[in-house]
Protein backbone atom coordinates (compact mmCIF):
# COMPACT_ATOMS: atom_id res chain seq x y z
CA UNK A 1 0.00 0.00 0.00
CA UNK A 2 1.33 3.46 -0.89
CA UNK A 3 1.91 6.25 1.55
CA UNK A 4 -0.52 8.99 2.50
CA UNK A 5 -0.49 12.76 2.55
CA UNK A 6 -0.57 13.73 6.23
CA UNK A 7 -1.33 17.12 7.72
CA UNK A 8 0.14 17.62 11.20
CA UNK A 9 -0.91 20.70 13.19
CA UNK A 10 0.35 22.18 16.44
CA UNK A 11 -0.57 25.25 18.47
CA UNK A 12 0.98 28.65 19.00
CA UNK A 13 1.98 29.65 22.57
CA UNK A 14 -0.81 30.77 24.88
CA UNK A 15 -1.40 32.28 28.28
CA UNK A 16 1.79 33.65 29.82
CA UNK A 17 4.08 31.18 28.01
CA UNK A 18 6.14 32.03 24.95
CA UNK A 19 6.67 28.38 23.98
CA UNK A 20 4.37 25.54 22.99
CA UNK A 21 5.90 22.11 22.45
CA UNK A 22 3.16 21.08 20.03
CA UNK A 23 4.02 23.95 17.71
CA UNK A 24 7.79 24.00 18.20
CA UNK A 25 8.19 20.31 17.37
CA UNK A 26 6.72 20.80 13.88
CA UNK A 27 9.99 22.34 12.67
CA UNK A 28 11.83 19.15 13.66
CA UNK A 29 9.61 16.79 11.67
CA UNK A 30 10.86 15.64 8.25
CA UNK A 31 8.89 16.10 5.06
CA UNK A 32 8.60 12.32 4.72
CA UNK A 33 8.05 9.60 7.34
CA UNK A 34 8.25 6.11 5.87
CA UNK A 35 6.07 6.26 2.78
CA UNK A 36 4.03 9.22 4.02
CA UNK A 37 4.50 12.86 3.04
CA UNK A 38 3.99 15.49 5.75
CA UNK A 39 2.68 19.03 5.73
CA UNK A 40 2.74 20.97 9.01
CA UNK A 41 0.93 24.09 10.20
CA UNK A 42 0.21 26.12 13.34
CA UNK A 43 -3.27 26.69 14.71
CA UNK A 44 -4.30 29.68 16.83
CA UNK A 45 -5.20 29.10 20.47
CA UNK A 46 -8.63 30.56 19.83
CA UNK A 47 -12.07 29.06 20.26
CA UNK A 48 -13.40 31.23 17.43
CA UNK A 49 -10.53 30.97 14.94
CA UNK A 50 -9.10 27.46 15.34
CA UNK A 51 -11.94 25.64 13.57
CA UNK A 52 -12.01 27.87 10.47
CA UNK A 53 -8.20 27.77 10.35
CA UNK A 54 -8.25 23.97 10.41
CA UNK A 55 -10.84 23.87 7.63
CA UNK A 56 -8.71 26.19 5.46
CA UNK A 57 -5.61 24.05 6.02
CA UNK A 58 -7.45 20.84 5.08
CA UNK A 59 -8.80 22.52 1.93
CA UNK A 60 -5.30 23.79 1.04
CA UNK A 61 -3.29 20.62 1.68
CA UNK A 62 -5.97 18.00 0.88
CA UNK A 63 -4.51 15.46 3.33
CA UNK A 64 -5.59 11.84 3.48
CA UNK A 65 -5.23 11.83 7.27
CA UNK A 66 -5.07 14.54 9.92
CA UNK A 67 -2.99 14.58 13.11
CA UNK A 68 -3.55 17.48 15.51
CA UNK A 69 -1.05 18.04 18.34
CA UNK A 70 -1.54 19.97 21.56
CA UNK A 71 0.31 20.10 24.85
CA UNK A 72 -0.88 18.88 28.24
CA UNK A 73 0.99 20.40 31.16
CA UNK A 74 0.09 17.70 33.65
CA UNK A 75 1.13 14.70 31.53
CA UNK A 76 4.53 13.10 31.07
CA UNK A 77 3.27 10.61 28.48
CA UNK A 78 2.19 11.07 24.89
CA UNK A 79 -1.59 10.65 25.03
CA UNK A 80 -3.69 10.17 21.88
CA UNK A 81 -7.26 11.29 22.56
CA UNK A 82 -10.02 8.76 21.97
CA UNK A 83 -12.82 11.34 22.35
CA UNK A 84 -13.66 14.91 21.53
CA UNK A 85 -16.45 16.37 23.69
CA UNK A 86 -18.99 18.93 22.48
CA UNK A 87 -18.23 21.47 25.21
CA UNK A 88 -16.01 24.53 25.64
CA UNK A 89 -15.23 25.23 29.30
CA UNK A 90 -12.13 27.39 29.70
CA UNK A 91 -10.14 27.71 32.94
CA UNK A 92 -8.18 30.62 31.43
CA UNK A 93 -8.93 32.92 28.47
CA UNK A 94 -7.77 31.92 25.01
CA UNK A 95 -5.45 34.18 23.01
CA UNK A 96 -8.41 36.33 21.96
CA UNK A 97 -9.50 36.84 25.56
CA UNK A 98 -12.51 34.53 25.19
CA UNK A 99 -13.36 32.29 28.15
CA UNK A 100 -16.50 30.26 27.37
CA UNK A 101 -17.97 28.28 30.23
CA UNK A 102 -19.98 25.07 29.72
CA UNK A 103 -20.94 26.03 26.17
CA UNK A 104 -21.57 23.56 23.32
CA UNK A 105 -19.14 23.80 20.40
CA UNK A 106 -21.80 23.20 17.77
CA UNK A 107 -25.04 21.33 17.18
CA UNK A 108 -24.09 17.66 17.26
CA UNK A 109 -23.45 14.62 19.44
CA UNK A 110 -22.19 15.10 22.99
CA UNK A 111 -18.93 13.38 22.06
CA UNK A 112 -17.24 11.94 18.98
CA UNK A 113 -14.66 9.18 18.75
CA UNK A 114 -11.38 9.65 16.92
CA UNK A 115 -11.58 8.48 13.32
CA UNK A 116 -8.04 7.11 13.42
CA UNK A 117 -7.57 4.22 15.85
CA UNK A 118 -5.22 5.38 18.64
CA UNK A 119 -4.31 1.86 19.79
CA UNK A 120 -1.74 0.80 17.12
CA UNK A 121 0.01 4.15 17.36
CA UNK A 122 0.15 3.92 21.17
CA UNK A 123 1.47 0.36 21.03
CA UNK A 124 4.21 1.40 18.57
CA UNK A 125 5.28 4.27 20.83
CA UNK A 126 5.51 2.02 23.88
CA UNK A 127 7.40 -0.64 21.91
CA UNK A 128 9.91 2.04 20.89
CA UNK A 129 10.42 3.08 24.51
CA UNK A 130 8.32 6.24 24.50
CA UNK A 131 5.70 6.36 27.24
CA UNK A 132 2.25 6.56 25.68
CA UNK A 133 -1.29 5.87 26.79
CA UNK A 134 -4.68 6.39 25.17
CA UNK A 135 -6.51 9.21 26.95
CA UNK A 136 -10.25 9.30 27.53
CA UNK A 137 -10.43 13.04 28.34
CA UNK A 138 -9.00 15.87 26.23
CA UNK A 139 -10.03 18.58 28.70
CA UNK A 140 -12.37 21.37 27.61
CA UNK A 141 -9.95 23.99 26.30
CA UNK A 142 -9.01 24.72 22.67
CA UNK A 143 -7.33 21.30 22.27
CA UNK A 144 -10.62 19.50 22.88
CA UNK A 145 -12.41 22.07 20.69
CA UNK A 146 -10.11 21.19 17.77
CA UNK A 147 -10.31 17.46 18.50
CA UNK A 148 -14.10 17.51 18.34
CA UNK A 149 -14.13 19.48 15.09
CA UNK A 150 -11.43 17.26 13.58
CA UNK A 151 -13.41 14.12 14.42
CA UNK A 152 -16.36 15.60 12.50
CA UNK A 153 -14.32 16.01 9.32
CA UNK A 154 -14.66 13.57 6.40
CA UNK A 155 -11.15 12.19 6.75
CA UNK A 156 -9.34 10.05 9.35
CA UNK A 157 -8.23 12.24 12.25
CA UNK A 158 -6.54 11.88 15.64
CA UNK A 159 -5.68 14.45 18.30
CA UNK A 160 -2.50 13.75 20.29
CA UNK A 161 -1.53 15.51 23.51
CA UNK A 162 2.22 15.80 24.07
CA UNK A 163 4.02 16.77 27.29
CA UNK A 164 4.59 20.52 27.79
CA UNK A 165 8.34 20.29 27.20
CA UNK A 166 10.38 23.46 27.63
CA UNK A 167 13.98 24.58 26.98
CA UNK A 168 16.42 23.96 29.82
CA UNK A 169 15.75 26.18 32.80
CA UNK A 170 12.18 26.97 31.80
CA UNK A 171 8.98 25.57 33.26
CA UNK A 172 5.55 25.52 31.68
CA UNK A 173 3.21 28.01 33.32
CA UNK A 174 0.15 26.84 31.35
CA UNK A 175 -1.11 23.47 30.25
CA UNK A 176 -3.27 22.47 33.21
CA UNK A 177 -6.29 23.11 30.98
CA UNK A 178 -6.17 19.37 30.29
CA UNK A 179 -7.10 16.84 32.98
CA UNK A 180 -3.77 16.39 34.74
CA UNK A 181 -4.72 13.00 36.14
CA UNK A 182 -5.24 11.27 32.81
CA UNK A 183 -2.36 9.15 31.63
CA UNK A 184 0.20 10.87 33.83
CA UNK A 185 1.81 8.05 35.90
CA UNK A 186 5.55 8.66 35.87
CA UNK A 187 6.20 6.85 32.61
CA UNK A 188 9.24 7.48 30.47
CA UNK A 189 7.94 10.11 28.11
CA UNK A 190 10.11 12.17 25.75
CA UNK A 191 12.53 14.42 27.63
CA UNK A 192 13.11 17.09 24.99
CA UNK A 193 11.83 18.25 21.62
CA UNK A 194 14.24 16.05 19.66
CA UNK A 195 12.98 12.96 21.45
CA UNK A 196 9.41 14.13 20.92
CA UNK A 197 10.05 14.52 17.19
CA UNK A 198 11.49 10.99 17.02
CA UNK A 199 8.47 9.66 18.91
CA UNK A 200 6.09 11.38 16.53
CA UNK A 201 7.93 9.88 13.56
CA UNK A 202 7.36 6.43 15.09
CA UNK A 203 3.69 7.25 15.60
CA UNK A 204 3.14 8.64 12.09
CA UNK A 205 4.90 5.70 10.49
CA UNK A 206 2.19 3.37 11.87
CA UNK A 207 -0.61 5.11 9.97
Catalytic residues: 81, 143, 161
Pairing of strands 36-43, 65-72: unpaired
CB-count burial class (<10 Å; 0-12, 13-18, 19+) for 16: exposed
CB-count burial class (<10 Å; 0-12, 13-18, 19+) for 171: exposed
Query: What's CA 72's distance to the chain center, in Å?
Result: 9
Q: How many CB atoms lie within 10 A of CB 18?
A: 10
Q: What is the DSSP letter of 82?
A: S
Q: Dihedral (C-alpha) 157, 76, 22, 87: value to the nearest 10 degrees?
A: 60
Q: How many CB atoms lie within 10 A of CB 154?
A: 7
CB–CB of 84/188 below 8 Å?
no
**Is residue 40 classed as helix, strand or coil in its secondary structure?**
strand
CB–CB of 17/172 below 8 Å?
yes
What is the spatial distance between Cα 172 and Cα 170, in angstroms, rounded to a whole number? 7
Amino acid sequence: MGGMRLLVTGFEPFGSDHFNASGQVLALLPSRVGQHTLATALLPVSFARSGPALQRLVAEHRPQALICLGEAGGRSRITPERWGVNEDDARIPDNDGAQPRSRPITAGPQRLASTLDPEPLTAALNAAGFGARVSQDAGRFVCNHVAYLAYRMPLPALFIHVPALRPAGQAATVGAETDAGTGNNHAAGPRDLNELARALEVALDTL
